């Protein structure tokens, strides 16, 4: 059975308590002391996605992914939109996403259990739209992490319990301190009494992970970070991913670049530097490549991942054909080797786990400033990163 800790319990769990009441949800079907987490990328239901739904029907967006997402014990994605009928466009933003509250039912019906709201679009329509979003998520029975009416709440962990295992979630964003107009210097970061998102500051992340780990069996950390359309993570992403795992995180899930980035097995944890788009309307070649990560978690074992390649067509993600999926996964495996991680590709799926090792020597040479050692020149590193002809130009 999967359980969601109540709001009062979450406050205690996130800030030091160890027990509390829970609300029961339907049983999952997996064995005891083990579970599967399905993780997907960026989803929004505005702009071109809304146009697709108007043409194809409300169920269109998730019709190709519902089987995979609903088969997992817990399904997670990044909700890249506010959900409200209120608010005004934030001056200077340029791109604004807002979704009608009724459409949250599409996520609930698909089996989405929890979302990150720590991103650079959740406050496109201001603080009241953010608070509406959180309220509507509660109404639809979808848990969330990464934002709140104040900094304490935004940093708060959320624990889901399934098969006797407690899985804790946290979410953060790099875009907490950006203002979009010199005439209206509003930022997304939460503060004392200020609604907003959780800042991706290393000392916040370390403190929150260690605190949540005292209550949860597993900790999943989502971070909105990186460079849009980049095929590789930058040094800052790598440093924070490693720090999160060193602090006790078991899995790190990255969002924002709108393209897939490689995987890394580090120490006892798994890192997905960018899960790419999921329900999204971009059409550039790399932005339509997507995935669902099926992550197995069990006591006494390191996390294991099965990656299902997806392609987005008319805003709808669906599994790739075996041949196309194999080509995409082999490319991701090639890039993951640069991070010292071996990814096996078989039958149109990818598999990897961790052997508990530190960062690879190649990674240390590619990012000498990050690790304090190494001689690999930046030009050589660039050549390695961009070696695949499929990445000869960024979309």
Please spell the DSSP secondary structure of 10-24, one letter per residue. HHHHHTT-----EEE
- Phi, psi angles (nearest 5°) of residue 332: -65, -40
**Three-state secondary structure call for residue 385:** helix
Tell me how crowded residue 166 is: count the other CB atoms within 10 A of its CB.
Answer: 18
Q: At residue 26, does pLDDT exceed 90?
A: no
Report the chain's mean pLDDT, rounded to a whole number.
85
Which pLDDT value is given to residue 385?
37
Which pLDDT value is given to residue 390?
32
Banded pLDDT at 111 (limits 50, 70, 90): very high
Pairing of strands 22-24, 147-148: unpaired
The neighbouring-strand residues paired with 254 are: 223
The H-or-E segment that residue 42 falls in is: strand 34-43
**CA–CA separation, 264 and 362 (whole Å):** 13
The alpha carbons of the chain give a radius of gyration, in whole angstroms, of 20
The H-or-E segment that residue 336 falls in is: helix 322-337
Q: How far is CA 380 from the centre of its chain?
A: 30
Fold of 2-359: Purple Acid Phosphatase; chain A, domain 2 (3.60.21)
The neighbouring-strand residues paired with 221 are: 170, 252
- Burial pattern 208-239, b for ≥16 Cβ within 10 A else e, equals bbebbbebbbbbbbbbbbbbeebbbbbebbbb
Banded pLDDT at 27 (limits 50, 70, 90): very low
- Tens-place pLDDT, residues 257-315: 999 999 999 999 999 999 999 998 888 889 999 999 999 999 999 999 999 999 999 99
Q: What is the dihedral of CA 335, 336, 337, 340, to 10 degrees?
A: 140
- Tens-place pLDDT, residues 330-351: 999 999 999 999 999 999 999 9
Banded pLDDT at 354 (limits 50, 70, 90): confident
The H-or-E segment that residue 254 falls in is: strand 251-255
Which pLDDT value is given to residue 282?
87
**CA–CA separation, 129 and 388 (whole Å):** 42
194-207 mean pLDDT? 96
Which pLDDT value is given to residue 285?
85
- Tens-place pLDDT, residues 56-67: 999 999 999 999
Which pLDDT value is given to residue 364?
63
Tell me how crowded residue 70 is: count the other CB atoms within 10 A of its CB.
Answer: 14
Which pLDDT value is given to residue 181?
63
Q: Where are the domains of the chain?
A: 2-359
Of 353 and 285, the one with more pLDDT: 353
6-34 mean pLDDT? 41
Q: How far is CA 206 from the centre of its chain?
A: 18
- Alpha carbon of 296 to those of 69, 120, 268, 301, 334: distances in Å? 14, 29, 13, 9, 23
For the chain, what percent of residues have pLDDT higher than 90? 70
Tell me how crowded residue 313 is: count the other CB atoms within 10 A of its CB.
Answer: 12
Tell me how crowded residue 139 is: count the other CB atoms within 10 A of its CB.
Answer: 13
């Amino acid at each position: 059975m999967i359980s969601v800790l109540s709001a009062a319990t979450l406050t205690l769990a996130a800030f030091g308590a160890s027990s509390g009441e829970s609300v029961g949800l339907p049983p999952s079907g997996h064995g005891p002391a083990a579970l599967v987490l399905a993780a997907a990328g960026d989803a929004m239901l505005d702009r071109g996605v809304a146009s697709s739904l108007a043409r194809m029907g409300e169920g269109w967006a998730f019709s190709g992914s519902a089987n995979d997402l609903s088969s997992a014990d817990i399904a997670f994605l990044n909700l890249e939109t506010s959900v409200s009928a209120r608010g005004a466009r934030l001056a200077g933003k340029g791109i604004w996403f807002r979704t009608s509250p009724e459409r949250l039912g599409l996520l609930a019906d698909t089996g989405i259990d929890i979302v990150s709201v720590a991103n650079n679009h959740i406050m496109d329509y201001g603080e009241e739209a953010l608070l509406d979003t959180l309220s509507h998520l509660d109404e639809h029975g979808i848990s969330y992490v990464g934002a709140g009416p104040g900094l304490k709440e935004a940093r708060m962990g959320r624990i889901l319990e399934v098969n006797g295992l407690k899985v804790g979630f946290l979410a953060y964003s790099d875009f907490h301190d950006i203002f979009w107009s010199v005439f209206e210097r509003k930022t997304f970061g939460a503060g004392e009494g200020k609604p907003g998102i959780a800042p991706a500051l290393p000392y916040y992340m370390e403190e929150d992970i260690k605190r949540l780990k005292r209550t949860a069996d597993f900790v999943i950390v989502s971070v909105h970070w990186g460079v849009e359309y980049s095929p590789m993570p930058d040094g800052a992403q790598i440093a924070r991913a490693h720090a999160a795992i060193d602090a006790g995180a078991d899995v790190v899930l990255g969002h924002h670049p709108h393209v897939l980035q490689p995987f890394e097995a580090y120490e006892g944890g798994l890192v997905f530097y960018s899960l790419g788009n999921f329900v999204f309307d971009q059409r550039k070649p790399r932005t339509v490549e997507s995935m669902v990560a099926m992550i197995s978690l069990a006591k006494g074992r390191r996390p294991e991942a099965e990656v299902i390649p997806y392609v987005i067509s008319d805003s709808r993600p669906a599994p790739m054909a075996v041949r196309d999926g194999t080509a995409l996964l082999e490319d991701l495996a090639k890039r993951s080797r640069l991070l010292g991680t071996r990814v096996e590709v078989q039958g149109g799926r990818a598999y990897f786990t961790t052997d508990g090792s530190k960062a690879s020597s190649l990674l240390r040479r590619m990012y000498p400033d990050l690790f304090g050692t190494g001689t690999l020149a930046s030009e050589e590193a660039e050549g390695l990163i961009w070696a695949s002809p499929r990445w000869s130009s960024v979309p």
